[in-house]
């Protein structure tokens, strides 16, 4: 009997497996104070801005900091006036490698994930760092690394 060896096809990780959900959102008419409070309360670095149900931008800690330096009641400004417009988005089926490429090419630190034009998640630099840590240890992930990965 001849034994046939077959090469194991590596699975391709997708954004659906690494994205953060649920996504914290706000209305375009909400103020920066609303964004800041949501970020502090949920210990996150960004909030996706919606017009209706459509994601149109993102407010980040950096956006707020830049406004604070300017002074003059910045937290009363609307999200629409200070948000970074969405330049790129991804689908849940996109590979993690493609997301890295897209984010680097577009100098994006966060990548909203849309499924059929509906916001379903966001991939952040932190999500991608967790993925790198996980795959660098697979298949034998030490317990102390597992605890880091599970503290999501």
pLDDT tens digits, residue range 98-129? 999 999 999 999 999 999 989 999 999 999 99
Q: Percent of the chain having pLDDT more than 70? A: 91
Mean pLDDT of the chain: 88
Q: What is the pLDDT of residue 7?
A: 47
Instruction: Please state the pTM of the whole predicted model.
Output: 0.81
pLDDT at 140: 86
Question: How do residues 4-39 score in pLDDT, each as one tens digit?
Answer: 444 444 567 999 999 999 999 999 999 999 999 999
Residues 84-97 have a mean pLDDT of 93
Residue 152 has pLDDT above 80, yes or no: no
The Cα–Cα gap between 19 and 41 comes to 20
Q: How confident is the model at residue 132 (pLDDT cuts 50, 70, 90)?
A: very high
* 44-62 mean pLDDT: 93
The pLDDT assigned to 70 comes to: 80
Least confident of 26-30, 68-72, 88-92: 68-72
């Amino acid at each position: 009997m001849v034994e046939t060896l077959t090469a194991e096809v590596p699975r391709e990780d997708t954004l659906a497996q690494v994205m953060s959900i649920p996504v914290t959102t706000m209305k375009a008419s909400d103020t920066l104070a609303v964004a800041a409070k949501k970020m502090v309360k949920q210990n996150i670095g960004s909030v996706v801005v919606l017009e209706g149900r459509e994601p149109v931008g993102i407010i980040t800690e950096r956006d707020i900091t830049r406004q604070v330096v300017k002074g003059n009641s910045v937290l009363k400004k609307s999200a629409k006036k200070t948000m970074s417009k969405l330049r790129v988005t991804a689908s849940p089926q996109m590979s993690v490698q493609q997301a890295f490429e897209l984010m680097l090419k577009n100098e994006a630190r966060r990548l909203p994930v849309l499924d059929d034009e509906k916001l379903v998640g966001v991939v952040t630099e932190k999500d991608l760092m967790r993925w790198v840590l996980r795959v660098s240890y697979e298949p034998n992930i030490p317990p102390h690394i597992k605890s880091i990965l599970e503290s999501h």
